[in-house]
Structure 1
Amino acid sequence: MNKILLLLLLASPLAISQQISLGAQYYKKGEYLKAAYSFKAEIPLLKRDVGEKNKGYLATVFLTAESFSKAQRTNESLQYYSEALKIYKKYPSLKKDFKLKRLVRGYYNALLMSSFEMFLADNYKETEKKLLECNSLVREYNLGDSDKYPLYKAFSQLYGKTGNVNHHLDYTLKTLELSKVINGENTVGHIKELSNTAVALDGLFKYDEALVYIEKAFSIFLDLDLDVLGPLASHLLTVRASINISLENFNKSEKDLLLVIRSLNKNKDIHPSYKKRFLGSAYQNLGYTYYKIKNYDKSANYYNLSLENYKDVFDSNSLAIANLELNLANTLDNQGKQNSAKPYYLSSLKKASVNYRNIYYGLSEEEKFLFLNIRIGTYFTSLSSFALRSNSNDITIVNELYNATLFQKNQLLNSSIRLKDAILSSNNLQLKTEFNEWLEVKKKLSKAYLSENSNDNTNIFALESKANFLEKNLVNQSEKFKKFNDISNPSWKSIQEKLKPGELAIEFIDFEHYFQKWIDKKFYCALIIDHESENPKMVYLFEESELLNILNRNKTNLRDGIESIYGTLDKKNNELYNLIWKPIETFTQDSNIIYFAPSGLLNYVSFSSLSKGNDFLSNSMNLVQLTSTAKIIEKTDISKSFKKATLFGGIDYGKNSEWSYLEATKTEIKEISKILNQNNITVESFTGLNAKKVMF
């Protein structure tokens, strides 16, 4: 309290008001929020009476910030710390009476706290922004090791969580160096930093280096004579086992994991939830150890034990459960028990997709992309490989594959930002209020599902119920919300309902092959439905290397390259047709309109230029290319979809161009223009040299 009084005595007598005195009393009693509001109330009066150049004014702003900080009101404390620092820099005369380091350190700690709050809310972009600002303060004001240590540790956690493995290792090593000074080398704190470094190196496949750090951690652990049955011992053994699995030292990983399991079962002091989590992890790693040495019976047994423990700790749709089910599916598949493996393959993919839906509104657009491609992609690939190996027309599997393909594509194509903008621009106040409330509930659900420590399933159920209730209201009130939900969660059935007789939908898929290990091959298949299909059909097409052999032909110029792939008007090339279309031609021959969505390298193929015999595919059937066959759900009349069109034809490319003038294209755009004009669509046409100028 003396420090506060000294700060206030720096002001003129006018500054020692009743509010400041009251604030000082609250501060002394530890009632920091009341103190903050008392100091805050005096700021505008002081500014009016003595001006911001006065040292008492600066002291009051600073004390407001510090009181808010101690009251854990981070945003308010940041506001006043920032203001105090601004005043300090603006008036050099204040520097002789006011300790800069205390002011900077207060601001620094508030920023760190704010970054931690952002991290817990899974707002990683804002977390990084706050931490970078802290880093600027460290450099500008030459802050010490005790300040850098929590900062570098926070950077390490952030980049570890977001998968930036290089930055993760960089800051983990910096934290480790500072730990020698802050914690001392023979301490529990330093043991933990050595373990974190081992994990970071493991993530970069530097297994030998990782093993050195974890062994050093063990050495200190034994020197300190710590509890071998405690959680720290179990953690170190688990990390070492994981590294040894990567190094294929399976005997060593087996020994460590069995020791973890015995220790945990003997320890009566560990909280039941914590114990089940650790046991589940040990059983899972042991299951994977036996999987790698092809002891599938033991592997399946330990995976099942892990599942029993995880079910009591994690939500049923968590990625921890999904990943374990996928491991169990692969093990059963390798045992030749395809019928037993199938439900686990299906369940793991379903759980991963549900998990994504639950965290959707808690992720940025970039994080959604990474989550879909890295996490959910593994489940999709595993099921696709299983379908190809077992029975590619298993009804349940093919149905799920089609729906999963639609789900992945549409989550990438449909941005939640567009929905939010559409709803919030509405004049319906109740709609906007309920939408914002629904968003907040969804964000809380995201946090609950992503949390590695949360096992409060009752809270999750309550949030899910509230979200569902609000969602029903929103669907009833808003066509835009209903349409977004329909489009974002499509199924092959919803597409089929839009297909007319004679129409066909083809969703192409590509996936890497997995059986016992990842095989360096990528396969392409087609999923096909028409207006009366009972279920989609899955047709195997080709390996990607076969397509690359055709597309990668080296020619001296672009035109020769295209002609070598597709042929010419006089001499067609049927290779691409035979590779891509021939396997599915029995399904397409009676169709008038074929909607298709390419995947992978098929996005580089001109389907209309595929030729069978002496004719192009586009001359025998109407092909409509889509980014996803789910776009059929949005299908509208052409006259309602756009009001203006720009057409190019009869282009004069110039004398030195590889491309020739095509007179017929000029005629074609005239005919197209007539059709569009009949539908009240304004047309702007470019031909000759004008077309080239506009295009280029």
Structure 2
Amino acid sequence: NHLQNANIINNIALIQYEFGFYSEAEQLFLTSTNIYKKVLGKNNRYYALSLNNLGLLYLDIDNYDKSEKYFIEALTVYQSVFGKENPDYANALNSTALLYLKIGNSAKTKEKAIEAYQKAEKYFIEALEKRKKTLGNKHPDYASSLNNLALLYRAKRDYLKAEKLITEANQIINLQIRQSIEFMSEKEREQFIDYHISSDFDVFHSFYLTKRKENKKLPGIVYNNALTIKGQLLKSAIAIRKSILQSGDTTLIQVYTEMNKYAKILTQEYAMPVLNRRSDIEELEEKVNTLEKELALNTKSSANLRWKNIRKSLKKHEIAIEFIHFDYQNNKKWTDSTLYYALILRKNYKNPKAIFLFEQKQLQKVMHRSYDTDEYNYIKKLYDPKSTKAQSLYKLVWKPLEQYLQNTENIFISPSGILNKISYDAIPYDTINILSDKYKIIYTTSTAQAVNRTSLFEDDIKNSVLFGGIKYDIKPEEMENISLHFRGLTKNTSQITETNLSNFQNLQEKRGIDSLTRNITWNYLPGTLQETEEIKTVLKRKNIKVKLYNYKQGTEEQFKALEKNAPSILHVSTHGFYFGDDEKSQENKDMIDKKVKFAYSENPLLRSGFILAGGNAAFQGKKIPDGVEDGVLTAAEISRLTFFNTKLVVLSACQTGLGDIVGNEGVYGLQRSFKMAGVDYLLFSLWEVPDDTTKELMSNFYENWFTGMEIREAFKKAQNQLKTKYAKVEGAAFAWAAFVLMK
């Protein structure tokens, strides 16, 4: 009967409740409630909170009588202890209103539904008024009350009242996002958006796009929401970092440097098994959090562009397509559907148009890859014009848009969710032709880039650094010697400059995890040396300074040192990897079974990266000498580097565009990490790429670019060159369509 015991029991009950163990949670809640009552009496906050927890539990299991009993008693206690002008009292009102709404939604007669809805309306309105008075009309809880009352009006089919409330809530949430940049750390903002914001946008978009189609202005609100929420954490992180590094403020830069130091330590620790990590992890996390908040307070965020800015910037024959997805809430409850829409904008549109595309499960079915299907055959089926899978892909993703694309030349697209995994250029629109034959598709992280559009020509390039022909199989002791030489601590360079490739013949030539051998070895890629040598020749011919790091010189130390003097072009030709939780052959499971640490980390940025000199040792679990980089450069490590002066990064490796799909933030992998590092353009791959054709594609790309073409035109021409060459080869998309150029 001790108060502390009651708190512990209540917390355990909350955990059981969260995991759906309602019977166990019920008994624990009843026990803690009785202890609070015996020790403190009825008139206290603990007792009222415990009553409210019981009410919520019974509401979830549809025991409405018991739920009502506990909610009403909780209301009485809150009023007695705090009075009516209190946030806790408002919360209890809201819970009670949700009960009556649920009763109304499940009522078997119209009369009972009306009676329950009337009670719900009374409590929702009172909760709204109390929250406005105690918290203000810009607070997230006030916005939540607006959404709840709107849900009631949606259930009653009173859509005009619901629209007014949802629109006010939408404005408040957008304001909260803008304000959060100014005082929250990145981790705090991530939690704030995940737990409080994302579901609000799902509510807004569910209503705007499915219940109020007659209001042609609403897709414009959804478009603005997409510009705000898509990649919000990424955009703010880049903006803050850029603002600091370009400010010239030595104090701010010092704070940033200190924060980055601790963040890099945490990245190293997160890559280790939990039991092997330092004991002060939480302390380090708090240091980073505090320093990030200090930086946020001292930097200004830029204003978000709106859809009207984009419309103004579009030319006559251009279109912007902002893809969005959201969990669907109908008039009464959340469903298990995730809906995908395209928001289309042209210069002559009065408002954007919203086009329904598909439910996520439909596209997942089309894109499903069975365990016994290799990468080539999977891509062939997905993009071959005569394949039923390819035809289904077109019908879901692109066919609904065709009627709006007449007389179009350039299409700016910003993918969302699993649409990030698609090569749009390769989608066939009949049994012969593909989209790249018909349209020029420009990939963006946001269609706002149509406003601040820039070009990149050879004259913008000053210097370049290339990595290729790398030796992955180096003993740890030799890696230490190379590292010492790099740091100027030894003069022994005989082994480091050796470039004998005679032993690297007849080995597998794919640049990704399909090429891992059973003993977890990354094989040498002869095409990567040829590729980088050819690129070096092109660049030198144009008097561009070039440095090629190959064989044992292509170390992780060498790569990280580049941020001190970032090159205009950074080209990395090597093995890439991404270990996700998607259904893929057997490689991912094999790596987890073999305890490869990069395959099972909770952080997706640690499950994505590329291999540099000596990288085999770390994959094989060998001990790397202290102070020596392990040769596996993860996305998490890259995200802490600075490449704001780098115009282009080419990731000429497998799966460098893949990663975990995280809500509205997009892809968590290598592409995200290089964007965080500040690069302008990124060229990455969506699947396993063959060594020979990748070499050919890259060589063609640089040859085109450095004959005076703009970068996008040069890359499109390089793709077309391969497309033409392999036109009669089955599954030709496998050779040319994997790579995406994105600004």
Amino acid at match of 1:247: I
Q: Alpha carbons of 1:637 and 1:214: their partners in 2 closer, same or farther (altered >3 Å)? A: same
1:626 is aligned to 444
Percent of matched pairs sharing the same residue: 25
Q: Does the alignment pair 1:548 with 2:364?
A: yes
Q: Does the alignment pair 1:610 with 2:427?
A: yes
1:284 is aligned to 94
Contact 1:264-1:275 at 8 Å conserved across structures? no
SS of 1:590's partner is coil
* Cα distance in 2, alignment partners of residues 223 and 252 from structure 1: 21
2:341 is aligned to 525
Amino acid at match of 1:245: L
Amino acid at match of 1:299: A
2:23 is aligned to 208
Q: Does the alignment pair 1:397 with 2:218?
A: yes
1:514 is aligned to 329
Q: Does the alignment pair 1:575 with 2:392?
A: yes
* Cα distance in 1, alignment partners of residues 408 and 710 from structure 2: 30
2:305 is aligned to 490
Amino acid at match of 2:101: Y
Task: Name stretches of at least 5 consecutive residues in structure 2 with no aligned partner.
Answer: 106-115, 257-295, 468-504, 511-688, 723-734
2:473 is aligned to none
From 399, 408, 411, give the equivalent of 1:594: 411
1:448 is aligned to none
Between 370-379 and 409-418, the greater mean CA deviation after superposition = 409-418
Q: Does the alignment pair 1:259 with 2:73?
A: yes
TM-score of the aligned structures, taking structure 2 as reference length: 0.54
Q: CA deviation at 1:562?
A: 1.5
* Cα distance in 2, alignment partners of residues 241 and 522 from structure 1: 30
Q: Alpha carbons of 1:601 and 1:646: their partners in 2 closer, same or farther (altered >3 Å)? A: farther
Q: CA deviation at 1:354?
A: 1.7
* Cα distance in 1, alignment partners of residues 710 and 88 from structure 2: 68
1:180-191 paired onto structure 2 within 5 Å: 185=1, 187-191=2-6
Q: Alpha carbons of 1:207 and 1:497: their partners in 2 closer, same or farther (altered >3 Å)? A: same
SS of 2:413's partner is strand
* Cα distance in 1, alignment partners of residues 247 and 185 from structure 2: 23
* Cα distance in 2, alignment partners of residues 569 and 669 from structure 1: 30
Kindly provide the CA deviation profile for residues 82-119 of structure 1, in whole angstroms up to 9, marking residues without a partner as x.
Answer: xxxxxxxxxxxxxxxxxxxxxxxxxxxxxxxxxxxxxx
Q: CA deviation at 1:519?
A: 1.7
Q: Alpha carbons of 1:540 and 1:366: their partners in 2 closer, same or farther (altered >3 Å)? A: same
2:59 is aligned to 245
1:604-683 paired onto structure 2 within 5 Å: 604-613=421-430, 614-639=432-457, 666=696, 670=700, 673-678=703-708
Contact 1:198-1:213 at 8 Å conserved across structures? yes
From 489, 494, 500, give the equivalent of 2:315: 500
Which structure is higher in helix share?
1
Q: CA deviation at 1:509?
A: 1.0
Contact 2:14-2:25 at 8 Å conserved across structures? yes
Contact 1:553-1:564 at 8 Å conserved across structures? no
1:198 is aligned to 13
Q: CA deviation at 1:507?
A: 0.5
Contact 2:135-2:142 at 8 Å conserved across structures? yes
Contact 1:528-1:536 at 8 Å conserved across structures? yes
Amino acid at match of 1:619: D
1:99-178 paired onto structure 2 within 5 Å: none
Q: Alpha carbons of 1:671 and 1:364: their partners in 2 closer, same or farther (altered >3 Å)? A: closer
Q: Alpha carbons of 1:415 and 1:641: their partners in 2 closer, same or farther (altered >3 Å)? A: farther
1:316 is aligned to 137
Q: CA deviation at 1:271?
A: 4.8
1:235-384 paired onto structure 2 within 5 Å: 235-265=49-79, 267=80, 270-272=81-83, 275-293=85-103, 294=105, 295-384=116-205
Q: Alpha carbons of 1:365 and 1:220: their partners in 2 closer, same or farther (altered >3 Å)? A: closer
Contact 1:393-1:538 at 8 Å conserved across structures? no
Amino acid at match of 2:125: N
* Cα distance in 2, alignment partners of residues 599 and 379 from structure 1: 18
* Cα distance in 2, alignment partners of residues 544 and 667 from structure 1: 33
Backbone CA RMSD of aligned residues:
4.3
Contact 2:209-2:219 at 8 Å conserved across structures? no
SS of 2:357's partner is strand
2:378 is aligned to 561
Q: Does the alignment pair 1:228 with 2:46?
A: no
Contact 1:509-1:525 at 8 Å conserved across structures? yes
SS of 1:497's partner is helix
Amino acid at match of 1:626: T
Kindly provide the CA deviation profile for residues 496-524 of structure 1, in whole angstroms up to 9, marking residues without a partner as x.
Answer: 23222211100111122212222222221
Kindly provide the CA deviation profile for residues 584-624 of structure 1, in whole angstroms up to 9, marking residues without a partner as x.
Answer: 11111211100001111111111101112221111111110
Q: Alpha carbons of 1:419 and 1:260: their partners in 2 closer, same or farther (altered >3 Å)? A: closer
Kindly provide the CA deviation profile for residues 302-338 of structure 1, in whole angstroms up to 9, marking residues without a partner as x.
Answer: 1111111111111322221122222212121111111
* Cα distance in 1, alignment partners of residues 238 and 210 from structure 2: 40
Q: Alpha carbons of 1:421 and 1:598: their partners in 2 closer, same or farther (altered >3 Å)? A: closer
Q: CA deviation at 1:431?
A: 11
SS of 2:313's partner is coil
Q: CA deviation at 1:230?
A: 4.2
Q: CA deviation at 1:286?
A: 0.5
Q: CA deviation at 1:671?
A: 7.5
Contact 2:382-2:389 at 8 Å conserved across structures? no
SS of 1:540's partner is strand
Contact 2:93-2:127 at 8 Å conserved across structures? yes
Contact 1:595-1:624 at 8 Å conserved across structures? yes
* Cα distance in 2, alignment partners of residues 409 and 530 from structure 1: 21
Q: Alpha carbons of 1:358 and 1:188: their partners in 2 closer, same or farther (altered >3 Å)? A: same
Contact 1:643-1:680 at 8 Å conserved across structures? no
TM-score of the aligned structures, taking structure 1 as reference length: 0.57
Contact 1:572-1:611 at 8 Å conserved across structures? no
Q: Larger relative contact order (C-alpha < 8 A, sep ≥ 6)?
A: 2
1:76-87 paired onto structure 2 within 5 Å: none
Amino acid at match of 2:354: M
Contact 2:154-2:162 at 8 Å conserved across structures? yes
Q: Alpha carbons of 1:679 and 1:395: their partners in 2 closer, same or farther (altered >3 Å)? A: same
* Cα distance in 2, alignment partners of residues 255 and 418 from structure 1: 51
1:104 is aligned to none
Q: Alpha carbons of 1:668 and 1:556: their partners in 2 closer, same or farther (altered >3 Å)? A: closer
Q: CA deviation at 1:663?
A: 8.5
Amino acid at match of 2:240: L
Q: CA deviation at 1:566?
A: 1.2
1:409 is aligned to 230
2:538 is aligned to none
